[in-house]
Amino acid sequence: MVCSVERAFVMVYLNKSEMVRSANGHKLRTVTHAYPMPSVIRLNRFVHAPYKGVTLTRQNVFKRDSFECQYCGTKRELTLDHVIPSSRGGTHTWHNLVSACKKCNAKKGDFTPEEANMPLKHKPFKPSYALFLHDISGSNHNEWDEFLGAKSA
């Protein structure tokens, strides 16, 4: 389970978990104390965490698409494009939305990518929560590797 640093600290402070690894010397400071910032914690007892899906938002589509137009590759003036246009029954879903620059979005207009002769760089997909945190967030938490089964280089 992934949670915020603040929540992790409170769970350690309240003895609901123990700190396994701190965040490379970073500290959380109060007026009178400094505490190690938790990076990996172990819960003292199992807590069922409900499934967390990735919310479909404009920014999350941009993150999934690496903040680049899925037609030309530019990273400027991004908008959302419906692969199958809304006017033709296209839905507002992960599988039908891509990042597109204003120029490509206007050029594609009310056509499909095939009709406009504008192939997509990547087929749109719904990211999993774990994939989104690890691969798309841009965070590099090397101290998590041994706990996630990642191979060290």
Q: What percent of the chain has pLDDT over 90?
A: 63
Give the pLDDT band of residue 148 (cuts 50, 70, 90): low
Q: Which of the two residues, 50 and 17, has the higher pLDDT score?
A: 17
- Condensed to tens digits (0 to 9), the pLDDT of residues 62-107 reads 999 999 999 999 999 999 999 999 999 999 999 999 999 999 999 9
Residue ranges of the domains in the chain? 1-45, 58-139
User: Best-predicted range by mean pLDDT among 46-60, 93-107, 135-149?
Assistant: 93-107
H or E stretch covering 102: helix 102-108
Task: Tell me what pLDDT residue 18 has.
Answer: 93
Neighbour-count burial of 64, counting CB atoms closer than 10 A to its CB (0-12 exposed, 13-18 middle, 19+ buried): buried
Task: Tell me what pLDDT residue 54 has.
Answer: 86
Task: Tell me what pLDDT residue 153 has.
Answer: 44
Task: Tell me what pLDDT residue 135 has.
Answer: 60
pTM for the structure as a whole: 0.63
* Listed residue (59, 57, 70) closest to 101, CA to CA: 70
Q: What is the mean pLDDT of residues 28-38?
A: 92
By three-state DSSP, how is residue 8 classified?
Answer: helix
Q: What is the mean pLDDT of residues 46-71?
A: 88
Q: What is the CATH number of domain 58-139?
A: 1.10.30
Neighbour-count burial of 107, counting CB atoms closer than 10 A to its CB (0-12 exposed, 13-18 middle, 19+ buried): middle
